[in-house]
Amino acid sequence: MLASTVLVNSARAQTSVADHLRARPKVVSDTATPGLSALGVSATRDAYLYIPRRYSPGRPAPLLVLLHGATQSAELWTGSAELFAMADTMGLVLLMPNSKDRTWDLMIGGFGPDVRLLDSALTVVFHRCNIDRKHVALGGFSDGASYALSLGVSNGDLFGFLIAFSPGFFAPAGAVGMPRVFVAHGTSDQILPIATTSRRIVPMLKEAGYKVTYHEFEGPHTVKADQMRAALAWFVGR
């Protein structure tokens, strides 16, 4: 794992084949059933979709993809009734994939298997739900946050928003578009200390021209409910 090392590729280049996501939102008319469901894109570590109670196929909805941390699973998100309540209130569709291995592929060999799995999951979501193409976000916690920043910058033509809770590094293969970025990090984080991670990552992102909203909070290596609420409100424009 790359842990707290901050890596930045400053070259603004086209994304590589390995980290390129092909799925794109499309207009759909099917009536999707609200609630949580497995997508069936993997027999072992699947991806999960949450459709809010307020979803209507006639009105494009915002989509947030949430990535778990190392050694965790999508249950980090699927087990949170509070997160689903926020999604219901804001009319937000959630996609919560699992990494194929103990953490995301970038940390253990480079972009590849998890990018393909995410692309498959997004394809299913875009066929099932009417998603607002101007409101698609990629976010995550810990290793998932690092992955969201790295993969998101390379796919900024899909993800207009990136949300990173306690990221450890930033290592894009290239850069496409200029997504807006939200970062939150605890000042007492003993897993990924803030001084060597977000306090270095955020200035680098700003120097590269990205618009960054940055929150420091008193607390350890965790996702606090108030920070999640702030990030979701920032994303949907409330």
Superfamily of domain 35-236: Alpha/Beta hydrolase fold, catalytic domain (3.40.50.1820)
* Model confidence pLDDT, tens digit, residues 26-75: 888 677 899 999 999 999 999 999 999 989 988 999 999 999 999 999 99
Count of residues in the chain: 238
- What's the CA dihedral at 199, 205, 209, 211 to 10 degrees? -70
Neighbours of 199 (CB within 10 A): 16
* Model confidence pLDDT, tens digit, residues 78-109: 999 999 999 999 999 999 999 999 999 999 99
Q: What pTM value is reported for the model?
A: 0.93
